[in-house]
Structures are given as structure tokens and as C-alpha cells.
């Protein structure tokens, strides 16, 4: 009953005319950045961050979250019609979505993607609504030792599931943690690696780093691929109506995609991308006609698109309940919340109920807005891609400059953004995963504080990390993961030796 009562209060916040407008702006801008290659949810949120400074916290978070889940919708449109994934989570949709479009079935593909996204997104919000409050209550019992173990577990999971090699990912994590030590020591106030300059007293500006690593590096990569746009397949309004067989064939993949997406949303790193690949693999495995996959199978669109959107709610759980962003985009949301004086963590729901429940209610509304608006506006979004990239990229760079400058009014941060842009470009070229680098920077400060507090409490006894149920579970999971990695490595070495022996 409590949930219903709080949800009513949340809807009272979300249905205020101004918040409806901010939600609409958020989801529309999210769709636009999802459509445009090189502008994902992270850059989209960072660019609109300055707009939120004069808003109250609830309105600001509603708008920025709208960008986050709106971007998940947007990516599918260009994947299906142009075979251009607007963002990484839509790569899988390109395979069968574009094949369907080539066969004149763009309409059903778009409708199934939109409906699947709506169902996945909505169920995911229900999960967020039901799981977050009890989890927050439980997490209030967690001490610094367990908190450190949990964050360490998150980083180790990231290194295991990363698209890059484990060694490279570990290197990126360590680099991120090390960069997080720059600035004043959070416990003693001792200046570390600042060389007496006040500019870096708070470390590197996180938004500048994020925009550089993800936004600028993406633009630099895209500058290399400036070419002619593929011909756009334009679906007519009549062709948008899916046939009964399409809906029937999509129902089970949508249901499975919802479960897969929601579960993978908890995994730190690139959960929304992985969930789409897992969903695609599951659908292909379960299909009676696996040979149709890659040639326009509707299940290959329905499952991954649903999974992609079903991660949005569960991805927000670690952020809102633990204050730990699971993916880089939610790290920007974390920054935005801190700017507005809202600290994510177990206390958030109790201290800022209007923000938490307002956000939940707005996500229901936002998902509905996306479903209603996206299909009629398909043509508008696709036409955005007609703007030549050589004109679009300089304007995006200009907005990045404004976005960064407005955060701190410090021109040095523009240089930081440019430097991290080049770093991100080089690292991505050599297959180093930059998501763990950014997330480690976010977690670094808190990990250090937790570790040192735990050691102070235990008087230097490392046994504290094995005391208490939470610590034991987290440390047990870390050991298990390490053993699994070791076993996988040994099997690999043995296989290689056998191959070379024959």
C-alpha cells in the first residue's frame, strides 16, 4: 500500500505541467541523440546539463532521465531504416531490422521495436519501483567494509565482461582509480598531484572527462568515416500497421527480452549493449527457424530492442540505491544529482521522496510519450541524418564547449575535455574499453574513503572485510569470479598447447 501511496505522490509531481514539459523535452532530445551517431545518452545529458541549473531537483532529474531512456528508443529507428546504429545498444537491431526494411517490412520492424521498447521499459520501471525501496532499506545496514567490497566487485565484474581483454580493462580500471586520487584527499584534505594549483583541487571535472572520452572521441572517429549517406527507406503510415503474425512472433521474444534486459541492467559496464547480444543469441537458439536470423527475422528485432530498454530501470537501481553508477550515462546522472544537492544512496528515497517517486512516475509517462510520438515522427528523426556530419560535428563541439564552461566557468576544463577526447580516441583505436576508466574515476573517491574508514574502524585489521553477511557475500563473489577467470585462462592455455602440439 505504501508503494501506491508514494506513487500517487510521484504522479502529482510528474503530472505538474512544467514537469510534463521537461519530460517531453528530455525524451525528444533523448530520441534525437539516440538517432544521431556520435551522440549517445551520455553526451546528450551532458549537453543539456546547463539547462537544468535553474530547475528544481525533481524537474532536472526528470528531464535528464528522459534523455537517458529516450536515447534507447532513438537508436532503433536508424538501425532499421539506414543500418546506422544511433548508439551501441542498437547494433544488433541493424542485422535483422535493416533486412526487414529492405524487404519492405520497415513498418512492422519499427512498430515491434517501439512496442517492445515500451513493454521492456515499463516492466523495468515496475521492477525499479518494487526493488529499490527494500534494497535501500537493506543497504542502510552496509558498513564501509562491505561498501568497499561491493564497489570492488562491480569493478571486477566490469573487467570480466568488458568487450576488451581482461588485462587491458584492468589497466583502464587502475588508471581511472589513480586519476580519481588527484585533488584534495577526502579525509585529510592533503593536496595530491595538484602541484599547488587550485584548478585541480577537486580533481578533473568529471563532465569534461566524460564528454571528452565519449563525445569528442566519437566525433574524431566519425570524422574518419565521412561518406555518403545510404539511401533512406521511408515507410508509409499504412505500412506501419503490423500483421497479426508479426505480433504473434514477437510476443515471446519481447517477454524474454524484458527479463534478460532487466537482469543485465544490474551488471556494471556496458549492460545495455550486452543484453541485446544475449537476447539475440537466446532468440536464435530458441527459434524453430534459426536460419532466418540475419535475413529479416522479426524476433531478432523484438528481443534485443526490448532487452535494451528493459535495462533502463534496473540500471538506475544501483545508482539510486547505492550511489554507484552502473554505466557511464548514469554517471552523468549522478553528477547532475550532486549538482542539485541530491545525494544518491540508501537515504535518497527517505530524504528526497519527491525526486525518487517523481522520477518513477515520469518514467511511466515518458515511456508512453515515446510510444505515441516516436512512430509518427519517424520521418523527422530520419531526416536529421540528412544534415551532413561536417556541419553537425562543429555545432556539437560548440555545444560541448558551452556545456563544459557553464559547469565551472573554467576555460581549463575545455582543454581537459579536448585532452581526454584525444586520449579516448587513441584508447578506442587500440581496443581499450573506456567505460571502465570513467566508472572507476566516479567510484575511486568513495572506494578510497570506504577502505580507509574500514581500516580505521578495525584498527588496521583486514579481517573486517570478512565480517558481516554483506561483506562475506561480496568477497565470496569476488573470489568466485577470480577463480572462474583463472580456470578460463588455464583452459585457454591448455587448448593452445594442445593445438601447438598437434
Partner 1 sequence: MQVNSRRGDLAVAVVLLALAVFFLWGGWHMPAGTFSVPGPGIVPMILSTLLAATALALIVKELFGGARRAGVPVSFGVAPVAIVFAALTGVAVALEYAGFIATLSVFLFVMLRVFSRLGTWRAALLAVVITCAAAWFFDSLLGVSLPRGLW
Q: Which of 16, 20, 174, 263 binds partner 1 (CB under 8 A)?
A: 174
Q: Which of 126, 130, 223, 290 binds partner 1 (CB under 8 A)?
A: 223
Q: 319: which DSSP letter?
A: I
For partner 1, the closer of residues 42 and 418 by Cβ is 418
**Distance between CA 173 and CA 167 in Å, rounded?**
10
**Distance between CA 306 and CA 302 in Å, rounded?**
6
Q: Closest approach of Cβ 202 to partner 1, in Å?
A: 15
C-alpha cell at 309: 530498454
For partner 1, the closer of residues 159 and 374 by Cβ is 159
Q: Which of 411, 466, 493, 495 binds partner 1 (CB under 8 A)?
A: 411
C-alpha cell at 267: 551488471
Q: Does 117 bind partner 1 (CB under 8 A)?
A: no
Q: Which of 24, 129, 153, 216 binds partner 1 (CB under 8 A)?
A: 216
**Distance between CA 215 and CA 401 in Å, rounded?**
11
Q: Which of 405, 468, 472, 477 binds partner 1 (CB under 8 A)?
A: 405
Q: 89: which DSSP letter?
A: G
> What value, to the nearest 5°, has the Cα angle with vertex 351 and ends 139 and 438?
60
**Distance between CA 362 and CA 44 in Å, rounded?**
18
Binding piece for partner 1, criterion CB under 8 A, among 35-43, 86-94, 181-189, 476-484: 181-189
For partner 1, the closer of residues 97 and 212 by Cβ is 212
> What value, to the nearest 5°, has the Cα angle with vertex 257 and ends 253 and 262?
160
Q: Does 429 bind partner 1 (CB under 8 A)?
A: yes
| Backbone conformation region of residue 104, classed left if phi is above 0, alpha if psi is from -120 to 50, else beta | left
Q: Does 476 bind partner 1 (CB under 8 A)?
A: no
Q: Kindly tell me the sign of the dihedral angle through the C-alpha atoms of 52, 55, 56, 61.
A: negative
- Write the binding mask 286 to 325 for partner 1: x where contact by CB under 8 A, - elsewhere: ----------------------------------------
For partner 1, the closer of residues 432 and 474 by Cβ is 432
**Distance between CA 195 and CA 206 in Å, rounded?**
19
Q: Closest approach of Cβ 218 to partner 1, in Å?
A: 12
**HSE (CB half, 13 Å, CA atoms) of 103?**
13
Residues 6+ apart with CB under 8 A from 116: 250, 253, 254, 257, 301, 302, 303, 305, 306, 309
Q: Which of 430, 497, 498, 502 binds partner 1 (CB under 8 A)?
A: 430
Q: Which of 3, 137, 431, 476 binds partner 1 (CB under 8 A)?
A: 431
Q: What are phi and psi of 239, to 5 degrees?
A: -70, -10
For partner 1, the closer of residues 138 and 178 by Cβ is 178
Owner of C-alpha cell 524474454: 256
Owner of C-alpha cell 602541484: 195
Binders of partner 1 among 2-61, rule CB under 8 A? 50-51, 53-54
C-alpha cell at 252: 515471446
Rg value, the chain, Cα: 23
Q: Which of 22, 262, 432, 470 binds partner 1 (CB under 8 A)?
A: 432
Closest Cα to residue 203, out of 177, 183, 179? 183
For partner 1, the closer of residues 189 and 288 by Cβ is 189
Q: Closest approach of Cβ 86 to partner 1, in Å?
A: 21
Q: Does 168 bind partner 1 (CB under 8 A)?
A: yes
Q: Does 178 bind partner 1 (CB under 8 A)?
A: yes
**Distance between CA 489 and CA 431 in Å, rounded?**
20
**Across the strands, what pairs with 191?**
184
**Residue 191 in 3-state DSSP?**
strand
Q: Does 487 bind partner 1 (CB under 8 A)?
A: no
Q: Does 244 bind partner 1 (CB under 8 A)?
A: no
Residues 6+ apart with CB under 8 A from 112: 242, 246, 247, 250, 254, 298, 301, 302, 305
Q: Which of 253, 323, 421, 436 binds partner 1 (CB under 8 A)?
A: 421
Q: 291: which DSSP letter?
A: G
481: burial class by Cβ within 10 Å (0-12, 13-18, 19+)?
middle
- Write the binding mask 384 to 403 for partner 1: x where contact by CB under 8 A, - elsewhere: ----x-xx-xxx-xxx-xx-
Binders of partner 1 among 436-455, rule CB under 8 A? 448, 451-452, 455
Binding piece for partner 1, criterion CB under 8 A, among 18-26, 120-128, 167-175, 231-239: 167-175
Q: Does 181 bind partner 1 (CB under 8 A)?
A: yes
Q: Which of 14, 427, 434, 475 binds partner 1 (CB under 8 A)?
A: 427
Binding piece for partner 1, criterion CB under 8 A, among 79-87, 169-177, 298-306, 310-318: 169-177
Q: Does 219 bind partner 1 (CB under 8 A)?
A: yes
Size of the residue set binding partner 1 (CB under 8 A): 63
Q: Does 208 bind partner 1 (CB under 8 A)?
A: no
**Residue 321 in 3-state DSSP?**
helix
Contact residues toward partner 1 (CB under 8 A) are 50-51, 53-54, 167-168, 170-171, 174-175, 177-178, 181, 185, 187-188, 190, 192-193, 216, 219-220, 223-224, 226, 388, 390-391, 393-395, 397-399, 401-402, 405-406, 409, 411-412, 414-415, 417-419, 421-422, 425-427, 429-432, 448, 451-452, 455-456, 458-460
Amino acid at each position: 500500500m505504501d508503494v501506491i501511496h508514494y506513487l500517487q505522490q510521484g504522479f502529482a509531481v510528474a503530472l505538474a505541467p512544467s514537469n510534463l514539459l521537461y519530460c517531453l523535452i528530455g525524451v525528444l532530445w533523448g530520441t534525437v541523440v539516440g538517432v544521431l551517431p556520435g551522440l549517445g545518452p551520455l553526451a546528450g545529458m551532458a549537453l543539456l546539463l546547463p539547462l537544468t541549473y535553474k530547475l528544481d531537483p525533481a524537474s532536472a532529474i526528470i528531464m535528464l532521465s528522459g534523455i537517458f531512456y529516450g536515447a534507447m528508443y532513438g537508436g532503433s529507428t536508424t538501425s532499421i531504416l539506414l543500418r546506422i546504429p544511433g548508439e551501441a545498444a542498437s547494433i544488433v537491431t541493424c542485422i535483422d531490422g535493416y533486412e526487414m526494411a529492405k524487404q519492405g517490412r520497415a513498418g512492422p520492424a519499427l512498430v515491434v521495436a517501439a512496442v517492445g521498447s515500451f513493454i521492456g521499459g515499463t516492466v523495468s520501471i515496475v521492477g525499479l519501483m518494487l526493488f529499490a525501496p527494500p534494497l535501500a532499506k537493506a543497504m542502510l545496514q552496509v558498513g564501509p567494509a562491505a561498501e568497499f567490497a561491493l564497489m570492488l566487485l562491480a569493478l571486477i565484474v566490469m573487467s570480466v565482461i568488458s568487450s576488451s581483454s581482461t588485462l587491458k580493462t584492468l589497466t583502464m580500471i587502475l588508471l581511472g582509480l589513480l586519476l580519481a586520487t588527484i585533488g584534495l584527499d577526502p579525509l585529510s584534505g592533503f593536496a595530491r598531484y595538484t602541484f599547488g594549483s587550485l584548478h585541480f583541487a577537486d580533481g578533473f571535472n568529471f563532465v569534461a572527462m566524460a564528454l571528452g572520452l565519449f563525445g569528442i572521441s566519437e566525433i574524431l572517429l566519425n570524422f574518419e568515416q565521412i561518406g555518403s549517406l545510404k539511401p533512406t527507406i521511408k515507410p508509409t503510415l499504412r505500412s506501419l500497421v503490423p500483421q497479426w503474425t508479426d505480433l504473434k512472433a514477437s510476443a515471446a521474444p519481447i517477454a524474454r527480452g524484458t527479463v534478460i534486459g532487466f537482469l543485465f541492467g544490474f551488471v556494471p559496464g556496458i549492460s545495455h549493449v550486452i543484453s541485446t547480444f544475449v537476447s539475440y543469441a537466446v532468440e536464435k537458439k530458441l527459434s524453430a527457424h534459426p536460419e532466418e536470423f540475419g535475413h529479416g527475422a522479426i524476433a531478432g528485432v523484438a528481443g534485443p530492442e526490448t532487452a535494451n530498454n528493459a535495462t533502463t530501470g534496473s540500471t538506475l537501481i544501483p545508482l539510486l540505491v547505492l550511489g554507484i553508477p552502473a554505466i557511464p550515462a548514469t554517471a552523468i546522472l549522478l553528477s547532475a544529482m550532486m549538482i542539485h544537492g541530491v545525494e544518491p544512496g540508501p537515504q535518497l528515497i527517505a530524504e528526497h521522496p519527491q525526486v525518487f517517486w517523481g522520477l518513477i512516475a515520469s518514467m511511466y509517462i515518458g515511456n508512453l510519450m515515446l510510444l505515441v510520438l516516436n512512430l509518427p515522427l519517424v520521418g523527422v528523426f530520419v531526416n536529421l541524418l540528412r544534415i551532413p556530419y561536417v556541419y553537425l560535428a562543429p555545432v556539437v563541439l560548440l555545444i560541448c564547449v558551452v556545456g563544459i564552461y557553464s559547469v565551472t566557468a573554467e576555460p581549463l576544463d575545455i582543454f581537459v575535455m579536448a585532452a581526454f577526447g584525444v586520449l579516448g580516441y587513441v584508447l578506442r583505436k587500440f581496443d581499450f574499453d573506456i567505460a571502465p576508466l570513467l566508472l572507476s574515476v566516479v567510484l575511486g573517491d568513495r572506494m578510497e574513503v570506504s577502505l580507509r574508514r574500514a581500516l580505521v574502524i578495525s584498527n588496521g585489521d583486514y579481517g573486517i572485510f570478512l565480517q558481516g553477511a554483506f561483506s562475506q557475500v561480496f568477497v565470496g563473489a569476488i573470489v568466485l569470479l577470480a577463480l572462474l577467470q583463472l580456470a578460463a585462462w588455464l583452459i585457454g592455455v591448455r587448448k593452445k598447447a594442445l593445438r601447438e602440439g598437434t
